[in-house]
A and B are shown apart, each in its own frame.
Chain A
Amino acid sequence: MPMKSLKDNLIKVVSWAFLLAVGYLLARYIQIPHFEVSKTIDISNVLSLIITGWIALAITTVFEKQNSDRRVEKDLIISRVGAIHSIADSLQIGSQSGSIHLAEANSSLKRITTALQAAFKIIDKSHFTISEDIKSRLNNSLADIRTSLTNTPGVTQDPTSLQDIPIAIRDGIVTYNKDRISQLEVKFEALKDLLLELQIEINSK
């Protein structure tokens, strides 16, 4: 480590010396028509130059640090949203098979919901905002999937509507008919599109 630091400092010193030498040689030997190079330097100009350079350097450093922090922040939130996408993917695969354990569906839905709410809370605390519209569309999409996945009919429902039950449950295993499986496919794809839209919106901030 100390060797690397020494090497870096040496490179800096040599670079500055080289730039100064180039500046001196340019001023000494190159004549620019209609311009006169003064042989004396006003000390206030030197101070002004040093301060201007220092401010420029400080501003660049601060902005670079801020930009870098925000990039890291955004990348972390985007990867968090990516993890939600993965949970939705495995739940979709489970429902595609036509039957899924209710406990698995419930816990996956809870994981998606809590991870999404956590992402929204982190965004609220960070340096950027996202539209309420995307939050609302995501919440609605999730509520829709939850109902389609876990809402079994009650006995008080109209018996004629129960002839081809889209969802039934036995021993804690939920089974879906073909129509419900197709509906779930569409709803999961819509949810994943919204998650992608959220990632793009975060990235563009």
Chain B
Amino acid sequence: MVIMEQIKINILKDFSPNPGPRYIKEGKFSGELFRQQILYPKVAEAIEKGIPFEVNLDGTAGYGTSFLEESFGGLIRLHHLPYERIKALMSLISTEEEYLIDDVNEYLKDAYEESKR
């Protein structure tokens, strides 16, 4: 049996139980900090190796819209990672707030559409 390697990111365990604002200058545990320290390095590694990655959004005290937009949208807007590769390799877990999966996909799509202009 072949066990498929997978990169796992758990925001509660790997980052903070209280995700904060959009930018580092705005307060603690920002989306910018999460993207720079955790999300971007792991997603870049997953794309380079061609392995899937999973982001678990459950267990935190809740997310502001800006945190998620900056974290995920920034992957395309600022780090210029390929949208199609992210979509192909990414799986999101959000059993507590199911709508967050649609929101994150929307932020990625919006950033991609913006980058084409």
Using a CB–CB distance below 8 Å, which chain A residues touch chain B?
102-103, 105-111, 113-114, 117, 139, 143, 146-147, 149-152, 154-156, 169-174
Contacts and interface: CB of A to CB of B under 8 A. Distances in A.
Interface residues of B, number: 24
Interface stretch (B1-9, B41-49, B79-87, B91-99): B91-99
Interface in B4-57: 18-23, 26-28
A170 B27 CA distance: 6
B70 A110 contact: no
B27 A146 contact: no
B27 A106 contact: no
Given A106-B63, A109-B62, A146-B65, A154 B22 contact: yes
Contact of B98 (A106, A117, A155, A174): A117
Interface residue SS majority, chain A? helix
Nearest to A173: B27
Contact of B21 (A109, A117, A146, A169): A169
B97 A103 contact: no
A106 B99 contact: no
B65 A169 contact: no
Nearest to B97: A113
B99 A105 contact: no
Given A152-B26, A154-B22, A172-B27, A107 B61 contact: yes
Given A102-B21, A114-B96, A151-B69, A170 B62 contact: no
Interface of B: 18-23, 26-28, 61-67, 69-70, 77, 96-99, 114
Given A107-B61, A114-B97, A156 B77 contact: yes
Contacts of B23: 155
Contacts of A149: 64
Given A106-B19, A170-B26, 15 more contacts: A103-B20, A111-B62, A113-B99, A117-B97, A146-B65, A150-B65, A152-B22, A152-B66, A154-B22, A154-B66, A154-B69, A169-B26, A169-B27, A171-B27, A172-B28
B96 A110 contact: yes
Contacts of A107: 61-62
B92 to A, nearest CB: 16
B99 A152 contact: no
A156 B22 CA distance: 13
B99 A143 contact: yes
A38 B6 CA distance: 89
